[in-house]
Structure 1
Amino acid sequence: MAHTSTPFTPHDFQLVLLRRMADHNPDLVEDARRRLGTSVADMREANRRWQAMTRSPRGRGAASRYRQVLGPPEQTLTRKIGDLECEAQLWPVPLWPDLRFEILLAPTGAVWNEWLIRTPGTAGPTLTGLDDLTPWSATVDEVARAFPPAQPLEGTAPTRWRLLFTAPETADGQRRRCVAEFTWGLLQRLSFPDH
């Protein structure tokens, strides 16, 4: 068990990401946890410490907390959202080498969004049908672009997103409405609201 005075590291942060994903994909999380060489207790403790940091009245703001834990961003970009320009800060995540953890900062410095995205300049997966949408295969943006017009739905918890879309026609001529569910921006599972 880590002691509270032990620095919270990028390794610990990966355990926080995994802890939330364990609800949908325990086997994938178990494999990833083993690759990291940590126990279930370590993962729980990292999550407990992260929650304490985020809820502490004396805690840092979200942006400075990420810099404290992850170090300086690997990349800082300007993103346009509607008419607003915001700053995106990106960090590598060793568990997913082709992804980056991104926070989007409002002009005021507040964190608007925090999730995993594909590394800029890296080719994402080819998504043409439901068989391509396997757990951890795609990000929110990639699924939304592959199956327009995808409609965002309210997430079931913090760090969770959902997209409603109609899948391409199958061999038997059917088109199904699907909900893609994401944790920290990474695809976890599909559900079918009409069935």
Structure 2
Amino acid sequence: MTFGVREFELALMHRMRDLNPERVEEALREMGASRAEVRAAHAHWTRLAHAPRAPKGAAALRMALGPAPYRGRRPAGSLTCTVLRWTLPSWPGLAYEALLGPGDELWNQWFVRPSGPAASLTLADLAPWTCVVADIGASFPGAVQMEGPAPHHWTVDVPSGGRTYRASFVYGLLQRLDPAPATG
């Protein structure tokens, strides 16, 4: 089995299925993919991640997605990082971004909006698979980012209309929006 763009998308969807199984099932129907294909793609990607001779980090992303159509630089504190971006068919208007530190070490990978975060979104605009973490920060002053419960998961508490909602993200892509748990 080769590992290309389709398999990479399916491997991402495997993780997204934890939080948004209905949207993943819809996407699989649109792609003509089966659950078995998702499991196989995830297992293959996991094997590659642990195989001693397989490419790692950004090299693994290049192996699956090809050369990055966008390559740039971004300051991060006292360092300058390399930014790589790919567009993926299942998420038009967004890009999958890899942030590389010194020695091309993969520091982060997630979805971004290449044109910059969408500002002035309302709670009603926060639809799964259409928003990224930066959109929330740009649209909701006072939003609080937190680590999620698993690798590549983020949560953001979003204040709106006197209430707080919890946005759950996988690879920086919104999966669901729920009332935030009560604190006390």
Asked if Structure 1 and Structure 2 have the same fold, meaning a TM-score greater than 0.5 normalized by the shorter chain, the answer is yes
Secondary structure of 1:194's counterpart equals coil
SS at match of 1:85: strand
TM-score, scaled relative to structure 1 = 0.86
How big is each residue's C-alpha offset from its partner over 1:20-48, in whole Å with a ceiling of 9 and x where there is no partner? 11122222111111111111101110011
Aligned-partner residue type, residue 157 of structure 2: L
User: Percent same amino acid among aligned pairs?
Assistant: 38
> Which of 60, 67, 76 is the aligned partner of 1:72?
67
Give the Å deviation of 1:122.
7.0
Structure 2 residue 32 is the aligned partner of structure 1 residue 55: no
Between stretches 38-47 and 16-25, larger displacement belongs to: 16-25
Q: Which residue of 1 aligns with 2:177?
A: 190
Equivalences for 1:1-195 in 2 at 5 Å? 6-118=1-113, 120-121=114-115, 124=118, 126-128=120-122, 130-167=123-160, 169=161, 175-191=162-178, 192-194=180-182
d(CA) in 1 for partners of 2:100, 2:164: 33
Structure 1 unaligned runs (5+)? 1-5, 170-174
Q: CA deviation at 1:147?
A: 1.1
User: C-alpha separation between the residues in 1 aligned to 2:73 and 2:36?
Assistant: 39
Compute the displacement of 1:125 (Å): 7.0
How far is the alpha carbon of 1:108 from its aligned partner? Answer: 2.5
- Superposed CA offset, 1:127-183 (max 9, x none): 12x22222112001111111123222121111111112322x2xxxxx112221101
RMSD: 1.8
22-31 vs 92-101, which deviates more? 22-31
Helix, strand or coil for the counterpart of 1:165?
strand
TM norm structure 2: 0.91
User: Runs (4+) of structure 1 moved beyond 6 Å?
Assistant: none
Return 5+ residue gaps in structure 2 as ranges: none
- The answer for the alignment partner of 1:172 in structure 2 is none
* Count of residue pairs brought into register by the alignment: 182
Compared with structure 1, are the counterparts of its residues 30 and 51 closer, same or farther at alpha carbon in structure 2 (3 Å cutoff)? same
Displacement of 1:55 in angstroms is 1.9
* Alpha-carbon offset, residue 123 of structure 1: 7.6
Moved more, 17-26 or 65-74: 17-26
